[in-house]
Amino acid sequence: MRGVPALRADVLVIGGGATGAGVAWDAALRGFDVVLVERGDLAEGTSGRFHGLLHSGGRYVVKDPVAAEECVVENAILRYVIPDCIEDTGGLFVSTPDDDLAYADRFLEGCRKTQLPAEEISVAEALRREPRLNPGIRRAFIVPDASIDAWKTVWSFARGAAGHGARILTYHRVTDLHRSGDSVTGARVRNELTGEDLEIEARFVLNASGAWAAQILHMAGIEDVGVVPGKGIMIAMNHRLVNTVINRCTMPADGDILVPVRTVSVIGTTDIHSADPDEIPVTQAEVDQMLDDGERLVPGFRDARALRVWAGVRPLFQDARADEVKDTRDVSRTHAVVDHRERDGVDGLLTMSGGKLTTLRLMAQDLVDAMCSQLGEQRPCRTREERPPGNEDGEAYRLGSRLRRRESTLQDEQLICECELIGRNRLEEAMRRRGTTNLDDIRRSLRLGMGPCQGGFCIYRATGILHSVDRLDGAEAAASLRGFLQERWKGVWPILYGDQLRQACLDDWIFQGLLDVGHLPGDAKVPDDDQRARGEQVAGGEAHADPAQVPEGGRQADAAAAEVNL
């Protein structure tokens, strides 16, 4: 370890998703000195790839009542502590012509038992509220579902933790866990931007790495951990086809929920066992199935424009020493604190597994409570009452608030992203604050390039601004642009039909035809005028006709600063 820089903390949190950020916030509020490490950007794992639903619990009332009860309570608490991250869309459970009507009675009974406030309304009333709904629905129930923004949520908790002294290290990957006898004492992490190693010594390590938990535990010599990655895909459709979360009133199945998320609606999802959480390709069959499922809820769904498809992996937990898992849908959606002292004879380490984004606060509380109990310390949890930054005024997010803000400065400021209404000042401010030149990091912060054109019009403008704000040279700016296009392309190619295909052709014309992204000025691979005059060829300078083949852009964030600017 000689020569490797070192940090010391009370608690090392591994993973910067919803769980890790919630844990860092909880532990920092209790007065612990916290370091959180995330191998990528915050919420780049499952939390930034989920469906967007703040569960009322209705989905689980029949099959998984414990999970339902947790959702009922946590839904209300999150509405209080992070209102700015939540849009109160409300939810409907509807019996489509394909659903068993008897289930609706079991659903109502389940709601009663789990104290979920559900109310039956007439089919006519449901159709009045949501005119695009399948007119063949036979029963409808209102529940307190909502739409929740994962990026805002995670950043808000991380920012809150940092405000209480936590150090949040993004792009820091755990490569080894340290053990001294029977105890875990810290970790070695690698700065993914600079390649430098860092040693972190901690009194306790909290493993919040979700579907990657088993990989972390293997580093401590712990095998046989029952994390069962369950893959699901989702498709964002161009419009808010509905303004309320629509659930099929049936046993949890594929493609049975449509969530209005800001200006789009998201259909999902599937649940397939996945061996490797980093290998989650989307197949054409899955896309077709999802579009067919959408038709059941909203006739004409297939004719709407699909914007983007993506997949995420659930960190489902079933102890590997229990029965073998056959179907990931049958694994409970509740969470489990894995006590490695009791289970594996290893001190100083706890793992959080299972759960949902909706229950992140409770999961964090349970994990930090368990740590306090092992440390023999009494430090009460405060996350039910305290609001993290951005939520202080208690105002819930409302669709249209961005437009209202924009309209007041319409004449004074350049509009960079028309789809998501992002003005130049906001973009420059985010670039400076985050200290990143990775356009995908900016996307997660502002939703830049997430609308119908998928970055077609805004991203070259943003690259130019990035260039002027950060004084990147041409090659760096070009790499950043290509990295973004590469990421967007991954989510677009499986749904290339109809209007989205037309849009992709237009984008291709802009980026390949007009801007020639494979040969941008300043690109190191492009011969300069003198070289051209001498007729010299430069290796690797050929155009990339297929955007999927464009090499990934480099990460050029300020590597010297280990701690992320929140």
Of positions 91, 144, 255, 312, contacts ligand FAD by CB under 6 A: 312
SS3 content of the chain, % helix, strand, coil (to 5): 40, 20, 40
Of positions 45, 83, 294, 455, contacts ligand FAD by CB under 6 A: 45
Among residue numbers 148 through 177, which ones bind ligand FAD (CB under 6 A)? 173-174
Please give the Cα distance from 177 to 202 (Å, whole number).
11
What secondary structure does DSSP assign to 223-255, as a single string?
A: ----EEEEEEEEEEESS-S-SSEEEESSSS-TT
16 binds ligand FAD (CB under 6 A): yes
Contact code string over 449-488 relative to ligand FAD, x by CB under 6 A: ----------------------------------------
- Minimum CB separation of residue 178 from ligand FAD in Å reads 14
Please give the Cα distance from 101 to 106 (Å, whole number).
9
Please give the Cα distance from 152 to 367 (Å, whole number).
22
**At CA 441, angle to CA 487 and CA 195, rounded to 5?**
90
Please give the Cα distance from 110 to 107 (Å, whole number).
5
Contact 550, 482 (CB under 8 A): yes
Of positions 144, 160, 260, 315, contacts ligand FAD by CB under 6 A: 315
Contact 110, 65 (CB under 8 A): yes
Choose the binding region for ligand FAD from 81-89, 129-137, 354-362, 544-552 (rule: CB under 6 A). 354-362
- Minimum CB separation of residue 387 from ligand FAD in Å reads 20
Of 222 and 481, which has the nearer Cβ to ligand FAD? Answer: 222
Of 20 and 110, which has the nearer Cβ to ligand FAD? Answer: 20
20 binds ligand FAD (CB under 6 A): yes
53 binds ligand FAD (CB under 6 A): yes
Q: Which residues contact 303 (CB under 8 A, 6 or more apart)?
A: 498
Please give the Cα distance from 64 to 528 (Å, whole number).
64
Closest residue to ligand FAD using C-beta atoms? 17
Among residue numbers 219 through 278, which ones bind ligand FAD (CB under 6 A)? 232, 234, 268-269
Choose the binding region for ligand FAD from 44-52, 86-94, 239-247, 496-504 (rule: CB under 6 A). 44-52
Please give the Cα distance from 9 to 470 (Å, whole number).
32
Of positions 260, 355, 449, 518, contacts ligand FAD by CB under 6 A: 355
Of 209 and 512, which has the nearer Cβ to ligand FAD? Answer: 209
Choose the binding region for ligand FAD from 39-47, 81-89, 292-300, 342-350 (rule: CB under 6 A). 39-47
Of positions 57, 186, 210, 388, contacts ligand FAD by CB under 6 A: 210
Residue 347 DSSP one-character state = B
Tokens (6 digits) for 549: 């083949």
Pairing verdict, β 146-148 and 167-169: unpaired
Q: Which residues contact 426 (CB under 8 A, 6 or more apart)?
A: 446
Residue 39 region by backbone torsions, left for phi larger than 0, else alpha for psi between -120 and 50, else beta: alpha
212 binds ligand FAD (CB under 6 A): yes
Please give the Cα distance from 37 to 212 (Å, whole number).
14
- Minimum CB separation of residue 535 from ligand FAD in Å reads 47
Please give the Cα distance from 519 to 4 (Å, whole number).
40
Of positions 142, 313, 381, 485, contacts ligand FAD by CB under 6 A: 313
Among residue numbers 286 through 305, which ones bind ligand FAD (CB under 6 A)? none
Choose the binding region for ligand FAD from 48-56, 242-250, 294-302, 408-416 (rule: CB under 6 A). 48-56
Binding residues for ligand FAD (CB under 6 A): 14-20, 37-40, 44-47, 50-53, 55, 173-174, 208-212, 216, 232, 234, 268-269, 312-315, 355-358
